Structure 1
Amino acid sequence: MRVGIQVPSFSYPGGPEQIAPTFARIAQDADQGGLDSFWVMDHFFQIMGVGAAEEPMLEGYAALAYAAALTERITLGTMVTGTVYRHPGILIKTVTTIDVLSGGRAWLGIGAAWNEEEARGLGIPFPPLAERFERLEEALLIARRMWAGDESPFEGVHHRLERPLNSPPALRRPHPPILIGGGGEQKTLRFVAEYADACNLFDAPELPHKLDVLREHCERAGRDYADVEKTVLSMAPAGLSAEQAVETCGRLAEQGVDHVIFSCGPDAPGAVGTLAEAAPQIAKIVPAGR
């Protein structure tokens, strides 16, 4: 089993001038401590459940680029980019740039977007949900085309690219893994089966059902369910212990989860050390079905 950390909050003691050194320490400790993945949210305002909108929030890809320069082996991604926040061609170029500069360690984490408050606040068009899913599917098609080196024109309903050139190409082969976040049963999980390398779901009672739905979509798409990496976001409690982390990963492995990502709020500077302590034991856990 793999283990990662998501950093959702930058409200560190000492104010804004302490964000860079604290964030740097978390990224480096996660990298040197043997964690597999490092994630930030792709939000512009802080989200409900973590803090007030006015709390500090870093732009996701600039933060990942900073982390890439400070780390050597850990993989890097957003959990997850709202598809309407960036033109797909620019998004793939951005992820490719991080992949090249990090030595092949980038993920594309993407979803349909949900935070209308931040979109309206910053003047980002926020179409109805049905259109957001149409745009998501086109973004996934564009990603696959650009990472395959196909420069032929793309003509979608919402996006038109005359020459989707992507140079330099990504280092990760066959491409940076595509992770789709969300548990929508009709479209999100179908898109995972059809286009993605990984899903991301919440550590919640409905998880087994969501995985069953994904399995059904894979069967309909002619996709081997085992080929999809099942990642789960688990909210780490304050004072998370190594034993708790191992127990959480073991419980989720029994449900077939391959990769547990602990979301650690302002407690992240301490939590990353705990996860590093637990990482050798977590690595020995074999997910069900593997």
Structure 2
Amino acid sequence: MQIPDPALVVLVGASGSGKSTWAGAHYRAKEVVSSDELRGIVGSGPHDLDASTDAFAVLETVVAARLGRGLTTVVDTLGLDPSKRQAWRDAARAAGLPAVAVLMATPDAECRRRNASRDRPVPAPALAGQLRSARDVRPLLDDEGWDLVVPVTAEHVADEPAPTAHPTIDDRTSSLGLRAVLQVSRFPWGDDPLAWLTGIAHAADEAGFAGLALMDHLIQVPQVGRAWDPIPEPWVTLGAIAGLGTGLELGTLCTPVTFRPAGIIAKAAATLSALTGGRAFVGIGAGWWEREHAAYDIPFPPARERLDDLERAIVTMKALWASGTKAYDDHGVVLPETTSYPRPDGPIPVVVGGSGERRTLRIAAAHGDACNLRTTDEAELARLIGVLRAHCDDVGRPREDVAVTVLDLPVVGSDRDDV
């Protein structure tokens, strides 16, 4: 059955019926309020029954707070006490959320088998009482007025939850052959910036995004927020996210070539690649916002010079990432040596930002691995892709060597109300 979201979800079943495993497979850990977990917090461990009173007091506080904010809340207890169930149901109604009971219809023999295999099994008499209550609970649930009662059979719950593994990059490709990168442009992080960033990165990872990108600006841009809103330095911030161990590709969209010498960008990206096992990328552009340059005393040359610098920067970065330490002299870039360690842990894709038809897309065709186009019109997007491909043909580069990425603002939902 389709369970509404947000909702209050109360798990009902005996020990060993698979409640926690089912919850872990269907909800994020922060959405699940578990009496066992709370016993481990307020007591000596999840099986410390002496801590049950304190654990349930904390549980009720957390459930009330989450429901008050309209958040999905999964109550992971036995769920066999009618008075507690009805109190949770009433709290959901008061908060305007659907109340859902999930009944674990696992056979008694299977519950006993799983219980016996645990390090700290529930005593047999206690489990027998739970199983009796569980057998009689379905008609009670039907009479209690839940918005939805969802039965879960044993075959839908594995003995143990599968180990969490970050999907590979290939696993994050949709059925249409597309990958989505989350660009984080606003930072309403309050008093704990790192906790906010950590939450965003883990949520993007769990949702199956292929990567996470940060803008590179010195002042928040007016298209996104106010000038006094926080806008962090991206390479420092990406380093913090790299330490979280996600499966996300990490990079900038986009770094203005005016902010840093090309070699410094190359060094930052190579370090990020080494720290993430080869999951770094560089979005780079000519820069466009004169105000932030003036505010930080950074030169802002004419567009032609910035585009020349953009082309040289890409050439310079790729020369520094290449193997060896030999001198380089090509495409107008002269380097007496290319000594740059650590080396990237694999290729670093360079995404050229901008849709200037004469220079920017030609630079992408000649030197980039992708171009980032910003458009909401399909016909215009198709036209710009045609321009890019024509440039590829003109410089003698296979069209498939230059990917196309599109900066867009999608709205997501299963239906209009959900959106």
**Structure 1 and Structure 2 fold alike (TM over 0.5):** yes
Match among 261, 281, 294 for residue 87 of structure 1: 261
Tell whether the 8 Å contact from 1:149 to 1:166 is kept in structure 2 after alignment: no
Q: Which amino acid aligns with 1:63?
A: T
Tell whether the 8 Å contact from 2:272 to 2:280 is kept in structure 1 after alignment: yes
Q: For the aligned residues, what is the CA RMSD?
A: 2.1
Identical-pair percentage: 36
Q: Which amino acid aligns with 2:321?
A: W
Q: Distance in 1 between matches of 2:323 and 2:299?
A: 29
Matches within 5 A, 1:117-128: 117-128=291-302
Partner of 1:140: 314
- Asked if 1:4 corresponds to 2:181, the answer is yes
**Shift in CA distance, 220/242, structure 1 to aligned 2, threshold 3 Å:** farther
Partner of 2:365: 193
Q: Which amino acid aligns with 1:33?
A: A
- Asked if 1:59 corresponds to 2:233, the answer is yes
Partner of 1:254: none
**Shift in CA distance, 213/8, structure 1 to aligned 2, threshold 3 Å:** same
Q: Distance in 1 between matches of 2:291 and 2:388?
A: 30
| Aligned partner of residue 80 in structure 1, secondary structure | strand
Q: Which amino acid aligns with 2:251?
A: G
Tell whether the 8 Å contact from 2:366 to 2:397 is kept in structure 1 after alignment: yes
Tell whether the 8 Å contact from 2:315 to 2:333 is kept in structure 1 after alignment: no
Q: Distance in 1 between matches of 2:186 and 2:352?
A: 22
Q: Distance in 2 between matches of 1:102 and 1:76?
A: 8
Q: Distance in 2 between matches of 1:10 and 1:46?
A: 10
Match among 334, 344, 347 for residue 170 of structure 1: 344
Q: Distance in 2 between matches of 1:71 and 1:241?
A: 28
Q: Which amino acid aligns with 1:207?
A: L
Q: Per-residue deviation at 1:154?
A: 5.0
Worse overlay, 47-56 or 98-107: 47-56
Matches within 5 A, 1:258-273: none
Tell whether the 8 Å contact from 1:149 to 1:165 is kept in structure 2 after alignment: no
How does the TM-score come out when normalised to structure 2? Answer: 0.54
Q: Per-residue deviation at 1:76?
A: 0.6
Between Structure 1 and Structure 2, how many residues are aligned? 238
- Asked if 1:180 corresponds to 2:352, the answer is yes
Match among 11, 32, 37 for residue 211 of structure 2: 37
| Aligned partner of residue 192 in structure 2, secondary structure | helix
- Max radius of gyration: which structure? 2
Q: Per-residue deviation at 1:242?
A: 5.3
Q: Per-residue deviation at 1:226?
A: 2.1
Q: Distance in 1 between matches of 2:364 and 2:265?
A: 18
Flag as ranges the 4+ runs of structure 1 deviating above 3 A. Answer: 150-162
The structure with higher relative contact order (CA 8 Å, sep 6+) is: 1
Q: Per-residue deviation at 1:150?
A: 5.1
Q: Which amino acid aligns with 1:195?
A: H
| Aligned partner of residue 280 in structure 2, secondary structure | coil
**Shift in CA distance, 159/127, structure 1 to aligned 2, threshold 3 Å:** farther
**Shift in CA distance, 224/155, structure 1 to aligned 2, threshold 3 Å:** closer
Tell whether the 8 Å contact from 2:315 to 2:331 is kept in structure 1 after alignment: no
Partner of 1:96: 270
Q: Distance in 1 between matches of 2:331 and 2:227?
A: 33
Q: Per-residue deviation at 1:57?
A: 0.5
| Aligned partner of residue 223 in structure 1, secondary structure | coil
Q: Per-residue deviation at 1:156?
A: 8.7
**Shift in CA distance, 159/58, structure 1 to aligned 2, threshold 3 Å:** farther
Cα deviation, 1:170-206, whole Å, max 9, x if unaligned, reads: 011xx20111011000111101111111111113222
How does the TM-score come out when normalised to structure 1? Answer: 0.77
Tell whether the 8 Å contact from 1:27 to 1:71 is kept in structure 2 after alignment: no
Q: Distance in 1 between matches of 2:263 and 2:337?
A: 10
Cα deviation, 1:54-109, whole Å, max 9, x if unaligned, reads: 21100011111111111331101100000011111111000000000111100011
Q: Per-residue deviation at 1:124?
A: 1.4
**Shift in CA distance, 197/156, structure 1 to aligned 2, threshold 3 Å:** closer
Q: Per-residue deviation at 1:163?
A: 2.5
Q: Per-residue deviation at 1:213?
A: 0.3
| Aligned partner of residue 243 in structure 2, secondary structure | helix
Partner of 1:46: 220
Partner of 2:390: 216
Q: Distance in 1 between matches of 2:326 and 2:262?
A: 15
Tell whether the 8 Å contact from 2:258 to 2:306 is kept in structure 1 after alignment: yes
Q: Which amino acid aligns with 2:374?
A: F
| Aligned partner of residue 183 in structure 2, secondary structure | strand
**Shift in CA distance, 177/197, structure 1 to aligned 2, threshold 3 Å:** same
